[in-house]
Amino acid sequence: MTRSWPKPPPLFELDELDSPGETVTWVPRSQATEPDALFSLEEPPVEQAAAANVIAAVQTIAAVETVETVVEIETVTTVETTVDAVVEIETVAEIEAAFDAMPERWTSRIGVFDLETTGIDVAEDRIVTAYVGLLDGAGNVIHEEHWLADPGVDIPEGATNVHGITTEYARANGRPAAEVVAEVTHALRTLLAGGIPVVAYNAAYDFSLLKYEGERHGLAPLDSPAPVIDPLVIDKTLDKYRKGKRTLDVVAAHYAVPLDAAHEASADAIAAGRVALALAERFADRLPEDVLELHTRQIGWAREQAASLTEYFIRIGRIEPSEVVDGAWPVR
């Protein structure tokens, strides 16, 4: 199996992230017939609708301005905001202040991250492919970067069967592992420094493996990333008793998110991001609006899930009573 990989990508720069890039086509549930639709690409989010109302009010007042100073408006324009309050606005300045005060939900822009590797041991296995992208609040890709690395070791047949990259292909077409690790780490640092949460499904795996890769190549590791959103941890907490597997393909299907190329880094990352948006919509009344608070809650949720799994593994004899499942999150 071969793929055409892009040349070395430009690194993420926050001042460039507002420029739309290639958008991956996706038909959300809102365009289907189910009544519990989660997304709508045609109807903007409520925050955007409120912003449009504010802009319209600004334009109405601006139309009656005849000098450089604002003409007094005798009739008060009211704008209904998304918090069910009515703001009385008499001047352009007050309208602009109301616009600036509107909170931006963490779902308005999210980073997405995924690795495909040589195996499942985060301390010993190596990166083969990596993807970091940026999605808007509707799940559209607005910026993305891909990497193919030469891991410097043989890629086991079992790993190749998962992601399709052979040792020979990676050696012939991949970039030096140290360069890839440095660029992926930099891209993630840039997003997180800008307050943009990064979504990773089973985040403790990807972020831990990246940390150990950084240490292996003498790079400053990303050992305390925040804010991170992990759809696996959130889904297992908020829909605890749902039967069935919690693999990305199964969970994506549950939330009506397409995943046509599972175990390909970009497809997995984008699907994970869209699942995160679906979770935020479905469980809006149970998730904190503050993304750093959500990050902190996931630390506790992951610890509780690991403790429960430890008890189960001991009960079925998979591990010894003295052993524990590591519940550290998002980095082990």
> Running along the chain, 332 residues long, what does each successive block of 10 average in pLDDT?
50 53 42 38 44 47 39 42 46 58 79 98 98 97 97 97 96 98 98 97 98 97 95 98 96 95 89 98 96 98 97 96 96 96
The residues, ordered by sequence, that sit 6+ positions from 40 with a Cβ below 8 Å of its Cβ are: 28, 30, 31, 138
Distance CA 194, CA 152 (A): 33
Task: Give yes or no for a contact between 40 and 136, defined as CB atoms under 8 angstroms apart.
Answer: no
Length of the chain: 332
Q: Where does residue 118 rank: exposed (0-12), middle (13-18), buried (19+ CB within 10 A)?
A: buried
Task: Give yes or no for a contact between 206 and 113, defined as CB atoms under 8 angstroms apart.
Answer: yes
| pLDDT at residue 31 in the model | 46
Tell me phi and psi for residue 115, to 5 degrees. -120, 145
| pLDDT at residue 146 in the model | 96
Distance CA 113, CA 131 (A): 6
Distance CA 169, CA 25 (A): 29
The residues, ordered by sequence, that sit 6+ positions from 272 with a Cβ below 8 Å of its Cβ are: 112, 114, 199, 200, 201, 231, 248, 252
Helix (H, G, I), strand (E, B) or coil at 209: helix
* Parts of the chain belonging to CATH 3.30.420.10: 14-30+106-316
* Structure-token pair, residue 293: 């608070």
Work out the number of other CB atoms within 10 angstroms of the CB of residue 327.
19
Distance CA 120, CA 249 (A): 18
| pLDDT at residue 6 in the model | 52
CATH superfamily, domain 14-30+106-316, is Ribonuclease H-like superfamily/Ribonuclease H (3.30.420.10)
Distance CA 101, CA 272 (A): 30
Task: Give yes or no for a contact between 126 and 213, defined as CB atoms under 8 angstroms apart.
Answer: yes
| pLDDT at residue 264 in the model | 87
The residues, ordered by sequence, that sit 6+ positions from 136 with a Cβ below 8 Å of its Cβ are: 108, 109, 142
Please give the model's pTM, rounded to 2 decimal places. 0.73
What DSSP string describes 227-238?
SEE-HHHHHHHH
| pLDDT at residue 101 in the model | 53
